[in-house]
A and B are shown apart, each in its own frame.
Chain A
Amino acid sequence: SQKIEQNSEALNIQEGKTATLTCNYTNYSPAYLQWYRQDPGRGPVFLLLIRENEKEKRKERLKVTFDTTLKQSLFHITASQPADSATYLCALPTSSASKIIFGSGTRLSIRP
């Protein structure tokens, strides 16, 4: 069955450093991969989508890579700030592309 893993349940880093989050998947080849941010008690907010034929995508301080050989996506936040503290979720479409499935999320904490 299709499986998505976000290896780190929690990540704590110093303000100003680059945060790197990992998303691995098995047993299928998604056409794209998405990253969302979720704050406590709120619904997820879409951040970035990267397609299977794209190696890298950037948006301001965010960078996403997609390695279809390794079946892995890396999500980077450069010059991290305490306001970046949140849970970050990766999500992939199912084989039929009719819905998306979320990883377990990584809770990122940026300390001043």
Chain B
Amino acid sequence: GAVVSQHPSWVICKSGTSVKIECRSLDFQATTMFWYRQFPKQSLMLMATSNEGSKATYEQGVEKDKFLINHASLTLSTLTVTSAHPEDSSFYICSARDFGGQYNEQFFGPGTRLTVL
């Protein structure tokens, strides 16, 4: 099956700093990637849809100036958490849709655990 990687797998940073998370589709091209956030014992909440070559589409309530998304190529999307605060601590997961697949399913990365001190 298609593979999606994320880097880093975990990061600890000080409050006020910015953190960049990378999401790569390793064996297929993804014109669309998705960024989710998951708090403990809760489900995945979609933050934004990342479109290659165009601006990301953010879900209601997600600050686009705080969560910067760049989808510079067909295999790479990045999420930058700017001026991170402790309340931004969460599990961030990206996914990519393989439109060439039989089921139009999304393939998820392993996630990035962000802890803001």
Q: Using A99-B49, A104-B42 as known contacts, say yes or no to A46 and B106 having CB atoms under 8 A apart.
A: yes
Q: Which residues of B contact A103 (CB under 8 A)?
A: 43
Q: Using A42-B110, A46-B103 as known contacts, say yes or no to A99 and B42 having CB atoms under 8 A apart.
A: no
Q: Using A43-B95, A104-B43 as known contacts, say yes or no to A98 and B105 having CB atoms under 8 A apart.
A: no
B108, CB-defined interface residue at 8 Å? yes
Complex partner residue of A43 from B43, B103, B110, CB under 8 angstroms: B110
Q: Is the CB of B49 within 8 A of A44?
A: no
Cross-chain pair count, CB within 8 angstroms: 44
Distance (whole angstroms) from the CB of A21 to the closest CB of chain B: 14
CA A105 to CA B43, docked complex, whole Å: 6
Q: Is the CB of A41 within 8 A of B113?
A: yes
Q: Which of A30-62 contact B (CB under 8 A)?
A: 32, 34, 36, 41-46, 49
Q: Which residues of A contact B42 (CB under 8 A)?
A: 104
Q: Is the CB of B111 within 8 A of A43?
A: yes
CA A41 to CA B109, docked complex, whole Å: 11
Q: Which residues of B contact A104 (CB under 8 A)?
A: 42-43
Complex partner residue of B106 from A41, A42, A100, A105, CB under 8 angstroms: A100
Q: Using A99-B46, A103-B43, A105-B43 as known contacts, say yes or no to A43 and B105 having CB atoms under 8 A apart.
A: no
Chain B residues within 8 Å of chain A by Cβ, number:
22
B93, CB-defined interface residue at 8 Å? yes
Q: Using A34-B105, A49-B105, A99-B49 as known contacts, say yes or no to A42 and B111 having CB atoms under 8 A apart.
A: yes
CA A89 to CA B43, docked complex, whole Å: 8
Q: Which residues of A contact B49 (CB under 8 A)?
A: 98-99
22 A–B contacts, CB within 8 A, in A order: A32-B104, A34-B103, A42-B110, A42-B111, A43-B4, A43-B6, A43-B109, A43-B110, A44-B93, A44-B95, A46-B103, A46-B105, A46-B107, A49-B103, A49-B105, A99-B49, A100-B106, A101-B46, A102-B43, A102-B44, A104-B43, A105-B43
Interface residues of B (CB under 8 A from A): 1, 4, 6, 34, 42-44, 46, 49, 91, 93, 95, 103-111, 113
